[in-house]
Structure 1
Amino acid sequence: MTMRILVALDGSEPSLRAIDYLLRLHAAASDLDVHLLNVQIPLESGHVRMFISHEDLQEYYREQGQAALKAGRERLEQAGVACTVHVAVGHSAQTITQFARERGIDTIVMGSHGHSGIGHLLLGSVTSEVIRLADVPVTVAK
């Protein structure tokens, strides 16, 4: 039976530890369907939308998301692990858990914290919220 795994990445070193964990998991159980997801925070200001077209804004989100996923995708490719990459725009924790529900994900893997400067002091707020909202097990890689 194939296990569907969602790895949430923001491009930070702590989030890439989730990839390292996934590679160890893959060595033990090779039948994995891996999805990498980066969630871009929407630019809320109406002023931004006055000067940037919807298409340009979507392209910006796509480029930033692909850049955040690049290192994780490359690590998996080098190890021979296939993955599908996704970029979404929205509130991070809600978008991650909604993505998991809609695609029948079996487990979510993510880093303990992201880009936050004080992330080493506490479990990241996005990670904490994903744990609270998720309908599936969440593995936090330290």
Structure 2
Amino acid sequence: MLKFRSILRTQSKFRQLRYESSKAAGEGGKLTPKPTEENATASLRVGAMHKPNKIDKWLLVWDKKYKSFDDVPMYVTNDKMEKARNWARIKISTYLMIGTVIGCIIMIISGKRAAARGESVAKANLEWHKKNREEMLAAQSNQQK
């Protein structure tokens, strides 16, 4: 119960801070930064960087972020890398769905052709058991001789 109260107290403090910042901003709850030297240098800062491995480079080239493997820099921003990975996930899953649908259509067509020829799983199972029974009887007769 004590933990729950402290969580509620913390959430209410954040709500109060958010409310005060929205009052100070006037519209939409967003504070607009004042143009100072600190803000000017902060806008030039780059986000976290990622050193791409071979697969990451392949994904960046496949996503057409870069023309070739040689064009991929030593470090790439995490945002760019995540966008390339997400794009690849979507594209691969789309290809897999298309392949699954095509495979299902092919199996339906092949099943209908097999049914037209008179083939069935039950008939194949009976033939397999009959063949194995004959081989077993032949092996037993050879052992008795």
TM-score class, shorter-chain normalisation, is under 0.3
Using the size of structure 2 for normalisation, the TM-score is 0.21
Pick the structure with more helix per residue: 2
Larger RCO (alpha carbons 8 Å, 6+ apart): 1
Using the size of structure 1 for normalisation, the TM-score is 0.21
**Rg bigger for which structure?**
2
Pick the structure with more strand per residue: 1
